[in-house]
Amino acid sequence: MRRVKLGQICEVVSGGTPKTNVEEYWNGEFNWITPAEINDNDYIISDTKRKITQLAIEKKKLTLLPKGTVLLSSRAPIGKVAIAGKEMYCNQGFKNLICSDEICNEYLYWYLKSKKEYLNSLGRGATFKEISKKIVENIEIKLPEIEQQRKIVNKLKEVDKIIQQRKCQSRLLDGMVQSRFVEMFGDPIRNTQNRPTTKLINVVKMQRGFDLPVQDRNQDGNIPVYGANGVLDSHNTARIHGGGVITGRSGTIGKVFYTEGDYWPLNTSLFSVDKHGNNVIYLAYLLQMFDLTRFVEGTGVPTLNRNMFHNRQIIDVPINEQNQFAAFVHQINKSKFVIHKFLYCTTHNTKSIIKPRPNTKESGKIRGGKPHADEF
């Protein structure tokens, strides 16, 4: 088994975004992908939400990603991985890898998927972290022979099948919670139970979060730092105490999170500055079911303006009913905890499959003062 740099066995390519205000660039026939379209369960992606035209490709001088390219997000966030099931183009949020005959693209997919924390540690930037083309090209990996790569891939597929089954169980539990919400309170948008209503700001007042540059965060702390996609870091100081609701303000819109502990909401989020004595779990599901994506502004980077929904009418539910719903959620969360514990252990076992055991005294050493990807 030999060590190689990714740049020696792959071509690393990125992309770009055609001008969004030029109609002739959009609604064409060519796939164009962004990191937001990749989720943790994706393996092969063959279609994209947006299509571009030949004119856009020529004007932006975009590089074609052939079928089989390993897609790797390089910012916002770092470390999303998938395989292109068809030819496509991408925006600037990727450092994709076109594999040579020396490496199986599925092996590289699983390898990178197991190194998400390491990839994030390579990120540079004050506003948001990003990994450059040069950084990706210089990542060293241990490369088995091609037949051994394929054997590893087949074993990982078997493990992944079990993981997906457990994730399906978790999604079913989430569906039970949403069904319970509708059963208890009806549809909060149409008010199907004809409940009393009030302005949303009287139920929960939302406010923009606070700046906390990456270099100023103490990642040894136990205070969760929330962004538009949920917890993305930690710090040793809380900005908000006593729990709250958080949702995306810029970039990713529509996801709603809650915490019953202290936290720090970033300026890419909106958080509950005043809960008016309401149950935080109920509030989170209320906002989720209220579909905040209806109030998004902007064509480039989508933005959620709290003033667009603060004065909207919403159901007014007594606290005792809120607490009943929260108790149901707590019971469901106990079942989800068992599933997530299983997934955590299985994921770590997956990493041990992709990371061959050391068989020399040299293994585990740090050369040149910098750790190698396979040592994480």
In terms of DSSP bridges, do strands 269-274 and 205-208 run parallel, antiparallel, or are they unpaired?
A: antiparallel
For 269-317, how does the pLDDT look when each residue is reduced to its tens digit (9 = 90+)?
999 999 999 999 999 999 999 999 999 987 667 899 999 999 999 999 9
pTM greater than the 0.85 cutoff: no
Structural domains for the chain = 2-149 (3.90.220.20), 167-330 (3.90.220.20)
For 28-87, how does the pLDDT look when each residue is reduced to its tens digit (9 = 90+)?
999 999 998 998 878 999 999 999 999 999 999 999 999 999 999 999 789 999 999 999
Q: Any idea which residue has 């997530």 for tokens? A: 340
Q: Is there a contact between 80 and 95 (Cβ–Cβ < 8 Å)? A: no
- Count other C-beta atoms under 10 Å from residue 96's C-beta: 24
Q: Is there a contact between 203 and 279 (Cβ–Cβ < 8 Å)? A: no
- Give residue 342's Cα distance to chain centre: 20
Q: Is there a contact between 108 and 82 (Cβ–Cβ < 8 Å)? A: no
Q: Is there a contact between 363 and 371 (Cβ–Cβ < 8 Å)? A: no
For 161-193, how does the pLDDT look when each residue is reduced to its tens digit (9 = 90+)?
888 899 899 999 999 999 999 999 999 999 999
